[in-house]
Structure 1
Amino acid sequence: MRSVTLLFFILAVGLTTAAQRKVPFPPDVASDIIQAASQCILESGVNPDLLIKFTNFDGKNVAEDEQLNKFAYCTLLKTGYGKRDGRLKLDKAIAVMPNDVDIDTVKKVMEKCNEETGKDAPQTTFRVFKCLSEKSPVLMTMI
């Protein structure tokens, strides 16, 4: 269960600041993420220690890693929140935000972060997540 907190960033992985609000996913979304992430842990071969650092929002101490990139990309696709190019499906990601969130602000951050690019789709996913973890006022969590 701890290993799937990584997702969402959205939804974010990585660093948080005092200004960021952590909001749990709705239970049905969390269930889908857990199922997808469980499969992607095996498929990607991600190092559990590295994954735990990200789930604890300790991104500043975690270097970019190919297996972590693959895990994030795999989970994003399997949940239906991602595109083949490694970017978010913005409308779907925004739809899980609670009603009391400033959607316009979150959407602007998501749009900006969704412009991040890597050498391949998994690296793009990692960079989008990292950007969100650093800049989004809201971080979606599993708990």
Structure 2
Amino acid sequence: MKAFLFVCMVAIAAANSAELSQKQKEAVKKFTAECVKETGVRPELLAQAKKGQFSDDEALKKFTLCFFKKTGILTSDAKLNTDVALAKLPSNVDKTKVAKVLEECKKKTGKTHADTAFEIFKCYYSAAPTHLIF
């Protein structure tokens, strides 16, 4: 249970220790639980993704798509919604830097919507000064 709770949070962390609001934390917990249930992703894969270790696992890809759609970061056709993604960042994050990263990641695509969501997530994780992690 502790492992599940550990992976059921989103930590947006930068060098300046950006913090999510309580409302954001509650939404993340809810969406994470829903997407875990819908996709059957293994909690250990989420824990690995949090550390930047991405497994080429279909359930993880589907989880990423599910989570990003529920948060509005991706549209129903798996297009990155930059405005929504930026709006979800804490106020003390340099949104100009993140916007540049998102513009590059927006170009990532895959064979399926889940593949596209996963490629966008990996791109963002590797290049962003602020990480969004499940």
Flag whether TM exceeds 0.5 (same fold).
yes
RMSD between aligned residues? 2.3
Which protein has greater RCO, CA pairs closer than 8 Å, 6+ apart?
Answer: 1
- The residue number in structure 1 matching 2:26 is 31
Q: Where in structure 2 are the equivalents of 1:1-143 lying within 5 Å?
A: 1-5=5-9, 21=15, 23-55=18-50, 57-59=51-53, 62-140=54-132
**Structure 1 residue 79, shift from structure 2 partner:** 2.2
* Superposition TM-score, scaled by structure 2 size: 0.82
**Structure 1 residue 39, shift from structure 2 partner:** 1.0
**Structure 1 residue 126, shift from structure 2 partner:** 0.7
Q: Distance in 2 between matches of 1:91 and 1:98?
A: 13
* AA partner of residue 98 (structure 1): P
| Residues matched between the structures, number | 129
Judge conservation of contact 2:49–2:133 (CA < 8 Å) in 1. no
* Superposition TM-score, scaled by structure 1 size: 0.78
Judge conservation of contact 2:109–2:116 (CA < 8 Å) in 1. yes
Cα deviations by residue, 1:79-119 (Å, 9 ceiling, x for unpaired): 22221232332111101223332221110101111210011
Q: Which consecutive residues of structure 2, in runs of 5 or more, have no partner in the other structure?
A: none
**Structure 1 residue 33, shift from structure 2 partner:** 1.5
Q: Which consecutive residues of structure 1, in runs of 5 or more, have no partner in the other structure?
A: 13-19
Which structure: greater strand fraction?
1
Aligned pair in 2 of structure 1 residues 141, 65: CA closer, same or farther (>3 Å)? Answer: closer
